[in-house]
Amino acid sequence: QVQLVESGGGLVQAGGSLRLSCAASGRTGSRYTMGWYRQAPGKEREFVAEISGNSGGTTHYPDSVKGRFTISRDNDKNTVYLQMNSLKPEDTAVYFCAAAPPNTAYKYWGQGTQVTVSS
């Protein structure tokens, strides 16, 4: 079983920065794809960032956060990070960490951390 615990959320003014962390425990490893999703009130869960489990650590972002958000991972610490810069009020949401075993869809999810960006 895999457990994911997010931290680092909070309240920040527009234009500010936050760094989210996701600590993984259990049967995880560098081969897992790790991702971040978010969900705002009344909206569907939205993809935010992804980093592959291969040695290259390929990343993907939607246009809405590209150039502002950066996902990274420290395999020695079993931790994934999401650096969020130039935050906007529309980035306000609960942010979830997710893990996908090799060649599968996201299977494990954290409990989420609230990010609120004030204008």
pLDDT bucket at 29, cuts 50 / 70 / 90: confident
Check residue 64 and give its pLDDT: 97
Mean pLDDT throughout 8-19? 98
Check residue 91 and give its pLDDT: 98
Q: Dihedral of the CA atoms 49, 93, 21, 64 (nearest 10)? A: 30
**What is the C-alpha to C-alpha distance for residues 89 and 24, in angstroms, rounded to an integer?**
29
Is there a contact between 51 and 57 (Cβ–Cβ < 8 Å)? Answer: yes
Q: Is the pLDDT of residue 119 over 90?
A: yes
**How much of the chain, in percent, has pLDDT values that exceed 90?**
84
Task: Count Cβ atoms within 10 A of the Cβ of residue 16 and give its class: 0-12 exposed, 13-18 middle, 19 or more buried.
Answer: middle
Q: Is the pLDDT of residue 54 over 80?
A: no
- Candidates 11, 7, 6, 4; CA nearest to 91 is 11
